[in-house]
A and B are shown apart, each in its own frame.
Chain A
């Protein structure tokens, strides 16, 4: 991370998300809202299908940041708005979330990253940001 400079594009990360991942995440996080697991319930509340927890997508963004940081424990801030749902179809293929990042600024041993988190053509997180110790 010591070579990070403002304007640096970080290598985009792509992560496959399946319904099995969401079931595992529900158990691990305690967020067992059925819209993240059950197609019928998701459609009944007007969603296009089972959607990932917003926090699941944010966890993937943090996973990319950890990858770029070269290891865990260096994140000082991470956050986003949950602007569009990530629809996860049944089956092993799931869907793919892509996390791209650019170094916005480096100062006082900290790098501020601007992230772009997409699923297909949709930006699924609004104003996703992260600050790292470098």
Chain B
């Protein structure tokens, strides 16, 4: 079980992620999204930064989450502005809710994705479903 005391906890920011032309091109190509160098990144691109913040949560031994038991249940983005090449982004994750549902912990999180000036670029809300362990 994940402890209720996790609610409201904010984790250290992810490492700075530099948005390069190559990284956006690879993401656009993998998803088939039409993209030109002058374009902003595809809408879901900030997941790469938000994902790093989620890994930070899951890798923290005090949290008690096992990565292999985690399923990504929901993801929603709200953008202040599009991501562009040259951005230097970090994501800071806060745990909003912890609920128990059918033997699983349902953990609601918000990652604030900010730029080099500290301005919010997008807010990425993720729900992580952590199934109960059986000692395996």
Q: Is the CB of A66 within 8 A of B72?
A: no
Q: Is the CB of B77 within 8 A of A63?
A: no
Q: Which residues of B contact A77 (CB under 8 A)?
A: 76-79
Partner of B75, one of A29, A75, A80: A80
Minimum CB–CB distance from A69 to chain B (whole Å) comes to: 10
Q: Which residues of A contact B27 (CB under 8 A)?
A: 25, 28-29
Q: Is the CB of A62 within 8 A of B32?
A: no
Q: Mark B32-63, 1 if CB is under 8 A from A, else 0.
A: 11110001111110011001100000000000
Let me know if B29 is at the binding interface, CB within 8 A: yes
Let me know if B31 is at the binding interface, CB within 8 A: yes
Q: Is the CB of A24 within 8 A of B26?
A: yes
Q: Which residues of A contact B40 (CB under 8 A)?
A: 72-73
Q: Is the CB of A29 within 8 A of B77?
A: no
Minimum CB–CB distance from A65 to chain B (whole Å) comes to: 7
Q: Which residues of B contact A58 (CB under 8 A)?
A: 44, 75
CB nearest neighbor in B for A55? B47
Minimum CB–CB distance from B49 to chain A (whole Å) comes to: 9
How many A-B contacts if CB must be within 8 Å? 102
Q: Kindly state the separation between the CA atoms of A55 and B71 in the bound complex, as whole angstroms.
A: 12
Q: Is the CB of A30 within 8 A of B51?
A: yes
Q: Which residues of B contact A31 (CB under 8 A)?
A: 51
Let me know if B30 is at the binding interface, CB within 8 A: yes
Partner of B42, one of A27, A63, A79, A80: A63
Q: Kindly state the separation between the CA atoms of A24 and B39 in the bound complex, as whole angstroms.
A: 21
Interface size on B, residues (CB 8 A): 33
Q: Kindly state the separation between the CA atoms of A73 and B51 in the bound complex, as whole angstroms.
A: 21
Q: Which residues of B contact A60 (CB under 8 A)?
A: 31-32
Q: Which residues of A contact B75 (CB under 8 A)?
A: 54-55, 58, 79-80, 82
Q: Which residues of B contact A38 (CB under 8 A)?
A: none
Let me know if B64 is at the binding interface, CB within 8 A: no
Let me know if B125 is at the binding interface, CB within 8 A: yes
Which residues of A line the B interface, CB within 8 A? 15, 21, 24-25, 27-31, 45, 54-56, 58-60, 62-63, 65-67, 71-73, 75-82, 126
Which residues of B line the A interface, CB within 8 A? 23, 26-27, 29-35, 39-44, 47-48, 51-52, 68, 71-79, 82, 125, 127
Closest A-B pairs by Cβ, 6 of them:
A79-B76, A24-B30, A62-B43, A25-B30, A28-B26, A59-B31
